[in-house]
Every structure is written in structure tokens, then in C-alpha cells.
Amino acid sequence: MIEMMTVNKVSKLTGVSIRTLQYYDKIGLLHPAEHTEAGYRLYDDTALERLQQILLFRELEFSLKEIQAILQSPDFDRDKALEQQIELLSLKKKHLENLITFARGLKQVGGTNMDFSAFNTKKMEEYATKAKEQWQHTDAYQEFSGNSKGRSKEAEEALARGMMTIFADFGKHKNNDPASEEVQALVKRLQAYISGNYYHCTSEILNALGAMYGAGGEFTENIDKAGGKGTAEFAERAISIYCK
């Protein structure tokens, strides 16, 4: 059984205010895994992992809108993101160490020091800008960002429900041959749905999405919730066959 955490516990654990977590839910950036009968938000490990990514991207000084588009884009690569985040944090660490050394020097020596190099953040800013560009200049990101611009929370939720309806249909066929005509028609329907509502879903992108669906984590859990346990893995196999 997955252990759930209340929004209050998540706030205490992460240092993110309850109001901020509520706002993330409101804009569709971080939804709770479930709600209690009284309507209180509950978060699981998958939601907390997503929160970690959000906080690390905030360290890269991405806006919430940018973070949302990146995390939902088919181009998102968790390992690549972590590499960038580690590099930026290392640069920040070096910057802080230089400031500490500078301050200690002023305290020990006294007098005036007109060297302002310790305050220079140019290298850090240049890296953050470069990291942003790597994410934002992909065709899928640009198209997703443009299509989702101005879309209301209700519209986003309706689209998500439509996607889950397709996966629920996958679940009805998960004991069948993934290469069967009926199942392959579902894959084609999924591809058309993504292209019509998010970004042009090429076979290459669809294949990458299929691998992500079956890899565990948030996508797998949501798909299995819609179609029953094993649906995400079944959809991955069906998509792989379709794309070949």
C-alpha cells in the first residue's frame, strides 16, 4: 500500500508553503495523488518526485509556466535535467565559497578591498540561460507551449480525462495481442489525440512516449489507474509494435 502524506506534512518536509502547494495544484503543475473524503490533498512518492524536479528547475530560475511545459513535454529527460541542475548548483556553491572567502578576508585584514570579482555571477547566469535554451528550442516544446497558452485549468483537465479514456480502452484489451487490429487502432487514436491537442506526435516521439509510459513513476501509475494494473506496460508494447 502506497503511503500518502497530507499537504501539511509535505509542507513541513519540503519547506514549501501550503499556499504554494495549493497554487501548484490550481495551475496544474503538481496535482495531489488523491483527496480525502473531506477534500484534503494527499501526496504519494510520485508527486514528491515531481515536486523535487519543480524545485530544482526553480533553482535554474525557470518560470512555473516553463517548468510545466518541460515536465509535460515528450522531450523531457530526467537524467539530462539532473545533470544540468547539478552543474548549476555546483556553480552556485563555488560562488558562495568565493563570497565567504572574500568576507573572511575583509574581517581578518580590515580596511577596504575594491576587488568585486567575488560578486560576479556571469558564469552562473550564462549556464542557466544555455540550459533553458536547450529545453525551449525543441519543436515539441515550442508547439506544446503555444497550444497550452491561455488554456484554462478546466480545459487542461478535460484533455487529461480524454487521454485517460483512451488508456482505459487499452486496459479493456490488455489481455489481447498488442499487435491485433483493435489494439493498433487504439495506438493510432492516441497518436491523433496527442497531435490534435498538444504537439505533432511523430512515430519517433510516440515511441519515446511509450517507453516513458511503461518506465514506472507518475505516467505508469496514472495509466494503470485508468485501465487497471499492467495497462501502461501493455500500451508500451502496442506502441512499440505500431512504431516499427
* Grid cell digits, residue 95: 560562488
Q: pTM for this one?
A: 0.51
The answer to whether 201 and 195 are in contact (CB under 8 A) is: yes
Backbone angles phi and psi of 41, in degrees to 5: -75, 140
| Cβ atoms within 10 Å of 103's Cβ, excluding its own | 11
pLDDT digit string (tens) for the chain, length 244 residues: 457 899 999 999 998 999 999 888 887 888 888 888 888 899 998 889 889 989 888 877 777 877 887 787 766 777 888 888 888 888 888 888 888 887 887 777 766 666 677 677 777 777 777 776 666 656 666 666 666 666 677 877 888 889 899 999 999 999 999 999 999 999 999 999 888 887 778 888 888 788 878 877 677 888 898 999 999 999 999 999 999 8
Cβ within 8 Å of residue 149, ≥6 positions away: none
Which residues on neighbouring strands pair with residue 43, listed in sequence order? Answer: 5
